[in-house]
A and B are shown apart, each in its own frame.
Chain A
Amino acid sequence: MPDPTGYARGVTAPRLEIDALLADPATKIVVCCGSGGVGKTTTAAALGLRAAEVHGRRTVVLTIDPARRLAQSMGLTELDNTPRQVKGIDTEATGGELHAMMLDMKRTFDEVVQAHTTPERAAEIFANPFYQAMSSTFAGTQEYMAMEKLGQLRSRDEWDLIVVDTPPSRSALDFLDAPARLSRFLDGRMLRMLLAPARSGGRSMFSLVTASFGLFSRSVQKILGAQLLTDLSGFVAALDSMFGGFRQRADETYRILQDPQTSFLIVAAPERDAVREAAYFAERLVAERMPLAGLVLNRVHRSEVESLTAERTEVAAAALEAAGDHSVTADALRVHAGLIRLIEREVRVAGTFAESFPAVPTVSVTAQPADVHDVDGLRMIGAALS
């Protein structure tokens, strides 16, 4: 099979040693990131299962939006925002445990509020339409709450290993940016100026800015209505009183992510968009000095009959068809030709990542004919990863 980069066989990229990573007691957090639809959640679940079964670690998997059947396979029938032990797995020999939880974004936000204020104040905040909108739809709330939950799990110090599945963001990078964006919003100068234009006015050198701001706030009033500004102001005042800086929390999360006890795994499939996102993400992790452990390339196709090229197979299939014999073999040959062409394309696409990041360790997982949604399937994926 043509393999110009040697990528498919791991010739260029060093092999990612998943077992060494999972077994190392110094590995406390594994973050699986990558674009949507590449099997991130499945990878996270398979890693968690392997860490518990094979390496005897007390593991929790934090999933964001699992497929229904995958969630059921782990016993996650409801979204209750607390880790539940996964039953029916084989940890007798090692003494490990696997727990899993699904993130409930709104509930996590509610918990943060409740933990930091009086019940009366909390009730007031929950009733605020701004809070309602923001806790369920703010661009980035899901990412922020995933990080918040990670911080909570980490601080309880009851887990050997936390495996995190990241939200299905528009772009994989949202995951890194959202907490900072949310905190910037919540304790931002912008908001203070908007809410207290009188205070920030006067003979400030920013008079143009301030003037625009008065105009801005009037425009917002005109467009959205005064009620909204009142609600917003109430919301911010309430939050302000209790948080002592969202930014500080975001910074803490950021430090957890930069800690050498954390490992980032980029998950991708050998498709153009997914590999492009993976490359952006790798670039970003390197720039932010986040510990990038490697690339997991899911759904890679393989053939045991690589020596039979697509062209030769297609010619043979056409000849058999023309002769009117052996239609089953002709079809089997067409299946093979299609597979070889697919492999060629995958190698080409995946090679673009290896060219840019030759030092990033990589492991590829062979495509399964059917989707994985039981513990046996996860175990198989775990074995394929290592």
Chain B
Amino acid sequence: MANNERTGRWPARLHVVTGKGGTGKTSVAAALALGLAESGRRTLLVEVEGRQGIAQLFDTEPLPYSELRIAAVPGGGEVRALAVDPEEALLEYLEMFYRLGAAGRALRKVGAIDFATTIAPGLRDVLLTGKVKEATTRSREGRRTYDAVVLDAPPTGRIGRFLNVTAETARLAKMGPIKTQSEGVASLLRSPITAVHVVTLLEEMPVQETIDAITELESLDIPVGRIVINGARPPLLTSGKVTKTELKRGLTAAGLPADPATVTGLQAEAKAHLTRRELEESLRSELVELRRPMLELPLLPGGVDRAGLDQLADRLMRV
């Protein structure tokens, strides 16, 4: 594979992407799945929160509980997508261990499955992460089904609890297959196969949550991957001073209106930009102190469409 060098920079096989709501973690997860599918590889993009964010991003019908091809990648690669539904996962799980058949469907009819996944939130998370584990480790005829699995995970505020499956279930289930299952998931999540990447914007709350989440994940021994700064703006006005005189001269030279209103307006915009950038710089240095590999993705002026995702994917593979 010619481009092994690029995908090789993302050595884990299960990439968990988290971030505060609104930071674009779904877009980053999708871009990573696209990037890791180059050179004829196959990846799976998974969501677990019932938001249908992947379908919205790729502008398709809501995803069913099956692994469907959602994008072809030049070089023969493909991305498949899966929206894990906890009810379906529980039925699949019961089927696997207890061969419930029609009884399983009856259970669903009376709402028992909803009930079971609601009474014990830990159980719900074990089912969701269990399905992700199954997809990550699945192989057929000695070949892995997926070269990489990318999980669009719950946001930073819930990621620790979501991934710390053993602790949650240990409180409720002291023995039995759920306990075994959760221990299997826990050991995968703590192995080098997994990397949790945190997406942030250079804004105060997302950065604070990034710091909190990384501290939490470290204390849980869950491997933290990269910090992805999304929506980064190009550095402009590095000299830091914008005078009206200069603007007036510059505008005249460019053949643009140089009336006082335009000059004052542009100066105010420049000042707001500088204030913003100062704040961004101090936030960036807070992130640097975490001593984790960081990378920046540009703000996509046209919004996130397939072309935009491909652009982000290429940037991700050039780390």
User: Which of B51, B157, B175, B257 sits near A171, CB closer than 8 Å?
Assistant: B51
Evaluate contact between B256 and A312: CB separation under 8 angstroms: yes
Residue among B111, B112, B206 with the most chain A CB within 10 A? Answer: B112
Distance to closest chain A CB from B319 (angstroms): 25
Whether, in the assembled complex, B254 has its beta carbon less than 8 Å from a beta carbon of chain A, the answer is yes
Evaluate contact between B161 and A137: CB separation under 8 angstroms: yes
Evaluate contact between A369 and B172: CB separation under 8 angstroms: no
User: Which of B106, B171, B178 sits near A223, CB closer than 8 Å?
Assistant: B178
Q: How many interface residues does A have (CB within 8 Å)?
A: 79
Closest residue of chain B to A222 (Cβ to Cβ) is B176
A265 and B164 alpha carbons, distance in the complex (Å)? 36
Evaluate contact between B265 and A181: CB separation under 8 angstroms: no
Tell me the dominant secondary structure on chain A's binding face: helix
Evaluate contact between A323 and B253: CB separation under 8 angstroms: yes
A224 and B127 alpha carbons, distance in the complex (Å)? 13
Q: How many interface residues does B have (CB within 8 Å)?
A: 80
User: Which of B112, B241, B249 sits near A326, CB closer than 8 Å?
Assistant: B249
Contacts of B234 in A (CB 8 A): 334
Mark out the residues of chain A between 255 and 304 whose CB falls within 8 Å of any chain B CB in the assembled complex: 269, 271-274, 276, 303-304
Task: Indicate whether A129 sits within 8 Å of B246 (C-beta atoms), given known contacts A223-B176, A305-B269, A331-B237.
Answer: no
Evaluate contact between A329 and B176: CB separation under 8 angstroms: no
Whether, in the assembled complex, B76 has its beta carbon less than 8 Å from a beta carbon of chain A, the answer is no
User: Which of B205, B262, B272 sits near A371, CB closer than 8 Å?
Assistant: B205
Whether, in the assembled complex, B94 has its beta carbon less than 8 Å from a beta carbon of chain A, the answer is yes
Whether, in the assembled complex, A52 has its beta carbon less than 8 Å from a beta carbon of chain B, the answer is no
Binding site for B on A (CB under 8 A): 35-38, 65, 67-69, 129-130, 132-133, 137-139, 168, 170-171, 181, 185, 188, 190-191, 194, 208-209, 211-213, 215-216, 219-220, 222-225, 227-228, 231-232, 269, 271-274, 276, 303-305, 307-308, 312-313, 316-317, 319-320, 323, 325-336, 338-339, 341, 345, 369-371, 373
Binding site for A on B (CB under 8 A): 20-23, 49-51, 53, 56, 94, 98, 100, 103, 106-107, 109-112, 115-116, 118-124, 154-155, 157, 161, 168, 171-178, 203-206, 208, 233-234, 236-239, 241-242, 246-247, 249-251, 253-257, 261-262, 264-270, 272-273, 275-276, 279, 301, 303
